[in-house]
């Protein structure tokens, strides 16, 4: 990965640049965040000409390291105004890395209404008009790109929401079968892509696992060892490959921290109807799959393929999506959840934010709670760009403010995911303080709070949550830089061999001599880079708080409030 691809949408210049020395040791999130800090004016308009959109495979993407095919997308977010890194699975990251690109930087803006495709192959990169793709949904976009550019192509795309510059538009990618349903969904990066006039990046490469390694034998041994570490762990090796991420539905419900009816209750009486177990049963009965890999070389295979009654296929339904359209809306019908999820994939919207938006609109009385069909009808409006469609496509905070709703479950403009912060307080600390706006992946304290992975910290008490979230945020920032799926964390937290083996793979690949301390320092450095950008963009500790109602409303069944305030400022004391 010795070069950078820089595409200027104003001048249409496509340029290959060498990698500056200071970026050589960075990948994934570490690289996108560094580029954003170095090249984007923090106070710029996220949809204006001075923002940039950066794609970067992780440090180990394109190798045989198991589950290392995540792609980071970075920019200034139109949803939050903060720096943003959102990463996704799918097949593109490995292909980009195998073509030798460390990053793709998209800058400038095409004239409004013009859309283009960047085509990247071993022969080089070029910018092509995308006229026939304009207005197409995610499924058609991927199908048309594969038909035109090759069935094995990786496609990074936006749907109509991104073209219409909606603040909750995501950047989609496809899996190996062409399902258009992996999303770097959070933070509206699809709107940034739309504002550049970029409909898709199509990448094809003859190889998947063949990026150059300094010491191939050493690498192979470490990768093999790491596969075993993953497969030996009950979550990574059994739970995820059986029921996918939605195995969490019943667990989180049982724990009383499943946000229900827009974060009014912590349990949902129909949770089992939309659980991973139920999903697997229906999916298999209909000829779908209960387990599926989003990219080659993943051993956890937490995806699924869910056929719907009308013949459409939603692949996958993740836990957070099932939560967003299920318990959060009091919808207990899995086919409704699947349809809402399918629509998001096609329109090009983040599912978590969309579910939260519909929840807020239900809170406002616009749609009845529990009415999945009404929610589907409302979501379909986004295609049309109608006023209601715009509201839904712009996320929970905009929607809530437009309707005078004070119960908006969001931090820094981004909606909270599927764990109530009052009864999973470590996640609450992460939501409040992460550089990204409310985000579970940024410091997934569900591990120690609920799953008892990496120790146990009582989810209903404040003690230990700051430290837990801090350590997880640092570790996550490092993991997000490697290309590894975050789910390796379950094994890494429990198995003392985990982290050293990750470091061993990096050293074998790059000929470096890193230690675990270096990896922790990398994570810290990523967070500091992101905090610096946010501070320059105008964020302060006043933004590092949960919404008022989490401090004032008790959440059943544990009848607990969130109580951490000034302590939150200690998270970044490192």
Q: List interacting residues with a second copy (CB under 8 A).
A: 42-45, 47-50, 78, 164-167, 191, 194-195, 386-388, 390-391, 394, 398, 401-404, 406, 536-543, 545, 547-549, 552
Residue 194 or 459 having the CB closest to a second copy: 194
Which letter, b or e, does each residue of 73-99 get, where b requires 16 or more Cβ atoms within 10 Å of its Cβ? bbbbbbbbbbbbbbbbbbbbbbbbbbb
* Smallest distance from a second copy to CB 41, Å: 9
Residue 403 or 572 having the CB closest to a second copy: 403
What's the Cα-to-Cα distance from 331 to each of 267, 337, 522, 561, rounded to whole Å? Answer: 13, 7, 42, 25
Q: What is the CA radius of gyration of the chain?
A: 21
* Smallest distance from a second copy to CB 514, Å: 36
* Smallest distance from a second copy to CB 40, Å: 13
Q: Is the dihedral of CA 47, 50, 56, 59 positive or negative?
A: negative
Residue 361 or 448 having the CB closest to a second copy: 361
* CA–CA gap between residue 464 and residue 564 (Å, rounded): 11
Q: What is the DSSP string of 562-574?
A: ---SGGGGGTT--
Residue 37 or 315 having the CB closest to a second copy: 37
The total of other beta-carbon atoms located within 10 Å of residue 551's CB is 14
Residue 194 or 523 having the CB closest to a second copy: 194
HSE on the CB side for 418, CA within 13 Å?
Answer: 30
Q: Are 210 and 60 in contact (CB under 8 A)?
A: no
- Terminal C-alpha separation, the chain: 31
Residue 41 or 516 having the CB closest to a second copy: 41
* Smallest distance from a second copy to CB 186, Å: 17
Q: Are 477 and 455 in contact (CB under 8 A)?
A: no
Residue 45 or 177 having the CB closest to a second copy: 45
3-state secondary structure of 266: coil
* Smallest distance from a second copy to CB 99, Å: 32
* CA–CA gap between residue 434 and residue 504 (Å, rounded): 28
* Smallest distance from a second copy to CB 116, Å: 18
Three-point CA angle 28, 29, 34, nearest 5°: 110
User: Which DSSP helix (H) or strand (E) runs through 15?
Assistant: strand 13-18
* Smallest distance from a second copy to CB 76, Å: 12
Task: Tell me how long the chain is.
Answer: 574
* Smallest distance from a second copy to CB 398, Å: 6
Residue 373 or 541 having the CB closest to a second copy: 541
Cis ω for the linkage preceding 174 (within 30 of 0): no
* Smallest distance from a second copy to CB 43, Å: 5
Q: Are 317 and 337 in contact (CB under 8 A)?
A: yes
Phi, psi of 292 (to 5 degrees): -170, 145
Residue 84 or 102 having the CB closest to a second copy: 84
Q: What is the DSSP string of 72-141?
A: EEEEE-TTTSSEEEEEE-SSHHHHHHHTTEEEEEEES-PPTT--EEEEEETTEEEEEE-GGGTT--HHHH
Residue 30 or 399 having the CB closest to a second copy: 399
Residue 134 or 401 having the CB closest to a second copy: 401
Residue 432 or 492 having the CB closest to a second copy: 432
Residue 49 or 176 having the CB closest to a second copy: 49
* Smallest distance from a second copy to CB 553, Å: 11
Three-point CA angle 550, 551, 554, nearest 5°: 70
- Check residue 156 and report its DSSP letter: E
* Smallest distance from a second copy to CB 421, Å: 16
Residue 394 or 495 having the CB closest to a second copy: 394
List Cβ neighbours of 228 (8 Å cut-off, separation of 6 or more): none
* CA–CA gap between residue 519 and residue 471 (Å, rounded): 12
3-state secondary structure of 290: strand
Q: Are 149 and 202 in contact (CB under 8 A)?
A: yes
* Smallest distance from a second copy to CB 405, Å: 8
* Smallest distance from a second copy to CB 550, Å: 12
Return the closest-CA partner of residue 422 out of 271, 572, 546.
546
Q: Are 166 and 191 in contact (CB under 8 A)?
A: yes
* Smallest distance from a second copy to CB 548, Å: 5
């Amino acid at each position: 990965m010795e070069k950078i691809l820089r595409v200027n949408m104003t001048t249409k210049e496509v340029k290959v640049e060498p990698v500056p020395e200071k970026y050589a040791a960075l990948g994934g999130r570490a690289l996108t965040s560094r580029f954003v800090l170095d090249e984007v004016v923090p106070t710029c308009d996220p949809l204006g000409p001075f923002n940039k959109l950066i794609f970067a495979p992780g440090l180990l993407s394109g190798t045989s390291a198991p589950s290392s095919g995540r792609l980071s997308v970075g920019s200034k977010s139109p949803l939050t105004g903060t720096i943003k890194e959102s990463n996704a699975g799918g097949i593109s990251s490995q292909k980009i890395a195998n073509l030798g690109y460390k990053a793709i930087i998209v800058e400038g803006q095409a004239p409004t209404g013009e859309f283009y495709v960047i085509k990247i192959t071993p022969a080089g990169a070029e910018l092509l008009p995308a006229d026939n793709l304009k207005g197409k949904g995610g499924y058609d976009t991927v199908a048309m790109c594969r038909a035109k550019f090759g069935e094995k192509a990786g496609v990074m795309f936006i749907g109509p929401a991104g073209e219409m510059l909606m603040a909750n538009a995501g950047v989609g990618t496809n899996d190996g079968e062409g399902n258009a349903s992996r999303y770097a969904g959070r933070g509206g990066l699809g709107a940034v892509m739309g504002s550049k006039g970029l409909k898709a990046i199509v990448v094809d490469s003859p190889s998947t696992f063949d990026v150059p390694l300094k010491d191939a034998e050493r690498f192979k041994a470490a990768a093999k060892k790491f596969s075993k570490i993953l497969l030996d762990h009950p979550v990574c090796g059994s739970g995820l490959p059986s029921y996918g991420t939605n195995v969490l539905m019943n667990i989180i419900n049982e724990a009383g921290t499943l946000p229900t009816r827009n974060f009014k209750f912590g349990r949902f009486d129909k949770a089992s109807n939309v659980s991973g177990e139920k999903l697997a049963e229906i999916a298999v009965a209909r000829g779908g799959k209960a387990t599926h890999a989003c990219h080659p070389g993943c051993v956890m295979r937490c995806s699924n393929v869910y056929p719907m009654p009308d013949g459409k296929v939603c692949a996958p339904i993740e836990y957070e999506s099932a939560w967003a359209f299920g318990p959060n809306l009091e919808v207990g019908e899995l086919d409704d959840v699947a349809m809402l999820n399918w629509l998001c994939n096609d329109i090009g919207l983040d599912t978590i934010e969309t579910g939260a938006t519909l929840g807020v609109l239900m809170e406002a009385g616009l749609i009845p709670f529990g009415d999945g069909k009404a929610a589907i009808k409302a979501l379909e409006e986004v295609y049309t760009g109608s006023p209601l469609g715009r509201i839904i496509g712009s996320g929970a905070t905009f929607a809530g403010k437009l309707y005078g709703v004070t119960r908006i479950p969001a931090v820094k403009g981004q909606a909270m995911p599927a764990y109530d912060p009052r009864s999973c307080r470590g996640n609450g600390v992460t939501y409040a303080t992460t550089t990204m706006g409310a985000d579970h992946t940024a410091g997934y304290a569900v591990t120690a709070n609920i799953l008892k992975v990496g120790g146990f910290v009582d989810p209903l008490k404040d003690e230990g949550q700051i430290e837990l979230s801090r350590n997880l945020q640092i570790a996550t920032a490092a993991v997000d830089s490697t290309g590894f799926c975050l789910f390796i964390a379950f094994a890494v937290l429990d198995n003392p061999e985990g982290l050293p083996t990750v470091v061993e793979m990096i050293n074998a690949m790059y000929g470096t001599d890193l230690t675990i301390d270096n990896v922790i320092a990398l994570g810290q450095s990523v967070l500091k880079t992101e905090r610096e950008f946010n501070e320059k963009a105008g964020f302060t500790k006043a933004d590092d708080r949960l919404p008022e109602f989490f401090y004032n409303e008790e959440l059943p069944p544990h009848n607990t409030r969130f109580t951490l305030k000034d302590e939150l400022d200690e998270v970044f004391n490192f």
